[in-house]
């Protein structure tokens, strides 16, 4: 066996126990990564299901407001000659 492939065994554990411990740790890491990926995919699915709408700002209808303002104004009096 190459020296590069030799792994240290934690003190007090047999080789099988150490390998099983590493297997469990790696399995936990992969499970955490899978959970993260699942959350990302779920968020992507929600974004595609409900595309963001452009935030619309209500526009004022200036013409209608101008007409309403004119209706509120007093009618202009026509110039009439002043009697003398």
Q: Rounded distance, CA 30 to CA 52, Å?
A: 33
Asked if residue 30 belongs to a domain, the reply is: yes
Number of domains in the chain: 1
Q: State the sign of the Cα–Cα–Cα–Cα dihedral 20, 23, 24, 25.
A: positive
Asked if residue 21 belongs to a domain, the reply is: yes
Asked if residue 26 belongs to a domain, the reply is: yes
Asked if residue 28 belongs to a domain, the reply is: yes
- Read off the pLDDT band of 67 (50, 70, 90): low
Question: Which whole number is the average pLDDT over 4-14?
Answer: 70
Asked if residue 42 belongs to a domain, the reply is: yes
The pTM of the full predicted model, rounded to 2 decimals, is 0.43
Q: What is the mean pLDDT of the chain?
A: 77
Question: Which whole number is the average pLDDT over 1-28?
Answer: 79
Residue identified by tokens 């790696």 is 26
Range of the domain at 44: 13-51
Would you say 50 and 58 are in contact if contact means Cβ atoms under 8 Å apart? no
Q: Of 33-42, 53-62, 70-79, which gets the smallest average pLDDT?
A: 70-79
Asked if residue 41 belongs to a domain, the reply is: yes
Asked if residue 72 belongs to a domain, the reply is: no
């Amino acid at each position: 066996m190459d020296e590069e492939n030799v792994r240290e065994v934690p003190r007090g554990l047999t080789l099988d126990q150490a390998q099983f411990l590493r297997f469990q740790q790696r399995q936990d890491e992969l499970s955490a990564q899978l959970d993260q990926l699942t959350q990302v995919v779920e968020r992507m699915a929600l974004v595609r299901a409900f595309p963001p709408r452009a935030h619309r700002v209500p526009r004022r209808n200036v013409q209608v407001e101008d007409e309403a303002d004119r209706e509120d104004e007093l009618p202009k009096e026509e110039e009439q000659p002043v009697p003398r």
